[in-house]
């Protein structure tokens, strides 16, 4: 099988994947949107009519039974689901009311969110997205998120990345909302203004490698091997737009042969991303090595249509002040973040755990 590492091929492959996902999502949206809007309106009616305060918690059982009687072929009118419809309305009603007010006062293109953490997403787009994801996703978001800002972040990410409910749940559990864009970088000074914000948003701190199963005593090679063995999960953690180009990528610098830990191409930023992973605490020489690789990639691989290469150093531990000073000293665009790895098992126990196949056979028996 041919080994194709041309970024244009990787970009085409990613476009096909994105188009397929979007086709699936659009098909579901057409059926889903009106139902979600109905749930929102029903939640509004429940809230404004105030029957709950009059009849107590038994109101939801009464309404559920009556709706099932009147609409016997309908699903989704359980007492718990009716509770969620009210919470759904209460979570987003203030935002949508503000949208209507802004639409009157300003041109739609100027009506941007004043809510922190949303990166000035257009409110009109947010309103469309809100009614586009499946109800099961909303149940997860309402149940696990504590604020409209966090909730809308996951609504937007679900639409952008085509997340299943399981993937959405995993990212909420990993605290993506609080990790996104949090790496310590020099992007604001080292990159053009048009790309620095987007570059910052592709970073995280910390990166969660909880999908790995490795022994407590592991070295860098074992960690990198495990990441490559789980490359799809690793790409998912890195974020949207990353195409994997290889590990231990050889690059000739003068008379020396060097090997970069991992090389990616980010399709959204249209640039190479060199990733170096260190299991120990951040050391200043790590930055010098990464900066050398970034500069070499700019000279040897970067094409005229590519944006400047970015370096990302992921370490086991860092002092934020040291990291901040370190990136300020660097000329190439560099970001530093930690990784977290929980649930690591001793090697002697890993071999004793049953495999998925063994568990399935046991269930069948």
Domain boundary among 155, 179, 203: 179
Same domain? 164 vs 127 = yes
Say if 16 falls within a structural domain. Answer: no
Domain boundary among 134, 150, 179: 179
pTM of the entire predicted model: 0.76
Out of 13-22, 219-228, 235-244, which region has the weakest mean confidence (pLDDT)?
Answer: 13-22
Gyration radius (Cα) of the chain, Å: 24
Q: What's the domain count of the chain?
A: 2
Same domain? 240 vs 156 = no
Same domain? 85 vs 211 = no
Q: Where are the beta strands (DSSP E) in 318-364?
A: 334-340
Q: Where are the beta strands (DSSP E) in 123-241?
A: 184-185, 207-208
C-alpha 146/C-alpha 283 separation (Å) is: 37
In the predicted model, is pLDDT for residue 151 greater than 50? yes
Same domain? 158 vs 255 = no
In the predicted model, is pLDDT for residue 356 greater than 50? no
Same domain? 91 vs 104 = yes
Name the band, by pLDDT with cuts 50, 70 and 90, for residue 58: confident
Same domain? 107 vs 55 = yes
Same domain? 254 vs 317 = yes
In the predicted model, is pLDDT for residue 321 greater than 90? yes
Same domain? 193 vs 108 = no
Residue 98, judged by CB atoms within 10 A of its CB (0-12, 13-18, 19+), counts as middle
Q: Residue 214: give the domain boundaries.
A: 184-346
Say if 266 falls within a structural domain. Answer: yes
Out of 41-45, 50-54, 272-276, 359-363, which region has the weakest mean confidence (pLDDT)?
Answer: 359-363
Instruction: Tell me the three-class secondary structure of 77-108, residue by residue.
Output: CCHHHHHHHHHHHHHHHHHHHHHHHHHHHCCH
C-alpha 285/C-alpha 281 separation (Å) is: 11
Provide CB contacts within 8 A for 202, sequence distance 6+.
Answer: 181, 238, 239, 240, 241, 242, 266, 268, 269
Query: Which pLDDT value is given to residue 167?
Result: 92
Same domain? 172 vs 316 = no
């Amino acid at each position: 099988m041919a080994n194709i590492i041309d970024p244009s091929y990787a970009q085409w492959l990613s476009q096909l994947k994105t188009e397929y996902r979007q086709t699936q999502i659009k098909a579901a949206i057409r059926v889903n949107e009106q139902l979600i809007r109905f749930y929102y309106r029903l939640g509004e009616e429940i809230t404004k009519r105030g029957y709950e305060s009059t009849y107590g918690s038994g109101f939801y059982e009464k309404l559920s039974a009556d709706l099932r009687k009147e609409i016997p072929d309908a699903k989704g009118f359980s007492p718990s689901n009716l509770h969620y419809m009210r919470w759904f309305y209460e979570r987003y009603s203030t935002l949508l009311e503000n949208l209507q007010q802004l639409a009157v006062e300003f041109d739609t293109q100027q009506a941007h969110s004043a809510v922190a953490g949303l990166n000035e997403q257009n409110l009109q787009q947010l309103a469309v997205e809100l009614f586009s994801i499946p109800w099961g996703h909303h149940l997860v978001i309402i149940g696990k998120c504590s604020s409209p800002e966090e909730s809308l972040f996951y609504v937007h990410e679900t639409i952008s990345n085509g997340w299943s409910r399981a993937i959405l749940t995993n990212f909420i559990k990993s605290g993506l909302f609080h990790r996104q864009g949090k790496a310590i970088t020099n992007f604001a000074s080292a990159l053009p203004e048009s790309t620095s914000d987007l570059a910052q948003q592709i970073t995280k701190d910390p990166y969660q490698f909880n999908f790995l199963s490795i022994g407590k005593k592991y070295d860098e090679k074992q960690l990198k091997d495990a990441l490559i063995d789980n490359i799809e999960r690793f790409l998912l953690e890195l974020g949207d737009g990353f195409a994997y180009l290889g590990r231990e990528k050889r690059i000739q610098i003068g008379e020396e042969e060097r090997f970069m830990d991992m090389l990616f191409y980010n399709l959204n930023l249209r640039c190479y991303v060199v990733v170096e992973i260190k299991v120990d605490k951040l050391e200043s020489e790590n930055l010098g090595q990464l900066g050398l690789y970034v500069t070499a990639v700019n000279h040897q691989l970067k094409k005229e249509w590519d944006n400047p290469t970015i370096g990302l150093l992921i370490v086991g531990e860092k002092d934020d002040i040291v990291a901040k000073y370190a990136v300020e000293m660097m000329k190439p665009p560099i970001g530093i973040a930690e990784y977290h790895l929980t649930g690591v098992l001793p090697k002697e126990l890993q071999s004793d755990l049953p495999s998925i196949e063994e568990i399935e056979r046991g269930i069948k028996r």
